[in-house]
Amino acid sequence: DAGVIQSPRHEVTEMGQEVTLRCKPISGHDYLFWYRQTMMRGLELLIYFNNNVPIDDSGMPEDRFSAKMPNASFSTLKIQPSEPRDSAVYFCASSDFGDSDEQYFGPGTRLTVT
Amino acid sequence: AQKVTQAQTEISVVEKEDVTLDCVYETRDTTYYLFWYKQPPSGELVFLIRRNSFDEQNEISGRYSWNFQKSTSSFNFTITASQVVDSAVYFCALILNSGGYQKVTFGTGTKLQVIP
């Protein structure tokens, strides 16, 4: 398997624009996680899905953030409208409940909002 | 509530020295998993080890070793004979998995710099 795939790897956008980050989990994994990493706040869990269903979105900072998982092989994290404080690295991770709970991380998307 | 504390923000050692990274966790659950991840300067998060709460055996993998002590709620990580390639941020994480509901808590990380 190719591992967790994220796109784009880098995104630069202007404040107020909509940003969509994409993730393809490892085939067969039934959990998908979205994290945000900043210098100030470290690694924060934003939301996670189990079998495509959002289970816990308590980490989503505000209504400008939304996440979807329309099928087992694709998820999106959308920010609308974006703000400079959203600048961070966003990681997607997947895991297999029946396995070791180890989360396999994607390479991350570095988002810069100017 | 769950909590993971990595009290060492940054550590610098000279190459070939041994170094221990501390991780202290808090949870009321009796079943949980502890992890260590490495984040090198390139930015990706690399899995190092997983330990479940019922397995207190220490583990050694090459230059890496882990000491899990439930009595002190600690899961410390030691690198023996450190190398420059070990320079990275290391995260300790606690995962509770109860009936499909997962609670994930990462520590704030320890930045290790190995000086040649």
Q: How sure is the predictor about A98, in pLDDT bands with cuts at 50, 70 and 90?
A: low
Report d(CA A106, CA B69) in Å as an integer.
31
For the stretch A31-45, pLDDT in tens is 999 999 998 888 999
pLDDT for residue A99 is more than 60: no
pLDDT for residue A56 is more than 60: yes
Averaged pLDDT score across all residues of chain A? 92
Cα B8 to Cα A6, B19, B25, B68, distances in angstroms:
31, 12, 14, 18
Average pLDDT per 10 consecutive residues for chain B, totaling 116 residues: 94 97 95 93 91 85 92 95 97 84 89 97
Burial class for A27, CB neighbours closer than 10 Å (0-12, 13-18, 19+): exposed
Q: Does A33 touch chain B (CB under 8 A)?
A: yes
Dmax over CA atoms of chain B, in Å, equals 48
Kindly state the average pLDDT of the residues A7-24.
Answer: 97
What pLDDT sits at residue A32? 94
Instruction: Give the mutation candidate from A37, A43, A94 for the B interface (greatest B CB count, under 10 A).
Output: A43
What pLDDT sits at residue B104? 87
Burial class for B112, CB neighbours closer than 10 Å (0-12, 13-18, 19+): buried
Q: Which of A42, A100, A107 is nearest residue B44 as measured by Cβ atoms?
A: A107
Contact A108 B43 (CB under 8 A): yes
Query: What are the residue ranges of helices labelled H in chain B?
Result: none
Kindly state the average pLDDT of the residues A92-112.
Answer: 85
Please give the single-letter amino acid code of residue B97.
N
Using an 8 Å CB-CB cutoff, list chain A residues near B109. Answer: 42-43
What pLDDT sits at residue B96? 86
Closest-CA distance, A64 to chain B, in angstroms, reads 23
Q: Which of A91, A101, A104 is nearest residue B95 as measured by Cβ atoms?
A: A101
A52 token code pair: 């495509």
What pLDDT sits at residue B60? 84
Q: Which of B43, B104, B108 is nearest residue A42 as measured by Cβ atoms?
A: B108
What pLDDT sits at residue A100? 57
Percent composition of chain A: helix, strand, coil (DSSP 3-state, to 5): 5, 55, 45
CB pairs under 8 A between A and B: 48
